[in-house]
Every structure is written in structure tokens, then in C-alpha cells.
Amino acid sequence: MSRHLTALLIKFAAITAILYVALGVIMDTSVTEILLMGAILTIVSYVLGDLMVLPAAGNSIAVFSDIVLAALLLWIMGNAMDNSAGTFVNALAVSVFLAIGEWFFHIYMRERVLDTWRKDPENV
């Protein structure tokens, strides 16, 4: 359980930092909106991408699915909050930067969190 909590905190910190730079500094989105979007994106992408797609399909497909998921979620949340992430181009651009962090986070997940990867001889 503590492995998942640590992973969630790392993921939230990374996502929120990237959102702060991309949306807060560049596009003038409020800190409250950034924290809310970071929390929602962290939880949804952790469950769907990191716990379901990553073990089943590998890092490359998980990163691609994270781009799609983040772009859609940021676009929907940006429209709901009426901020600059509401344009699909902005949401897609931010999601590409998030995907760079996700690539490295997935390596951490496979090495430190996911037991199935360690037990599968094909992934060694």
C-alpha cells in the first residue's frame, strides 16, 4: 500500500509542476484550478494508465495512452473551468510534456511498484 501512495505522491508532484509551468506561468491559470486538474489527472491516469495499461501493454503504449487521456481530460476540465486548457491544442501540447514525465514514471512503476513485472520472465 505504501508503494502505491508514494507513487501517487510522486506522480501528483510531477503532473502539478508541469501543469503549473504550462498553464499557470504561461497561460495564467489559477493555482486552485491547477491543483484540481492535477489531482483528477493523477488519480485517473494512475488507475487506467499505470495499473492497467502499463503492465498489459508496456511503456510505449502506456505513454501514448497517457497522451490521449491527458489531452481529453485537460480539454474537458479546461472547458468546464473556462481556462486556457479548454482549447484542444493547448491540452494536447501540455499532454505531450506530461508524457515525457510519464515515460520515466513508468520505469519507476515497473521497478518499484508493479509486482507482476518482476515475476514475468519475458520482461527481464
How would DSSP label each residue in the chain? -HHHHHHHHHHHHHHHHHHIIIIIITT---HHHHHHHHHHHHHHHIIIIIIIIHHHH-HHHHHHHHHHHHHHHHHHHHHHHTSGGGSHHHHHHHHHHHHHHHHHHHHHIIIII-HHHHH-GGG-
* 94-108: pLDDT as tens digits: 999 999 999 999 999
Mean residue pLDDT of the chain comes to: 91
Predicted TM-score (pTM) of this structure? 0.89
* 21-49: pLDDT as tens digits: 999 888 888 999 999 999 999 999 999 99
Taking 70 as the threshold, does the pLDDT of residue 8 lie above it?
A: yes
Q: How confident is the model at residue 82, as a pLDDT?
A: 87
Taking 80 as the threshold, does the pLDDT of residue 11 lie above it?
A: yes
What gap in Å lies between CA 6 and CA 12, rounded to an integer? 10
Taking 50 as the threshold, does the pLDDT of residue 124 lie above it?
A: no
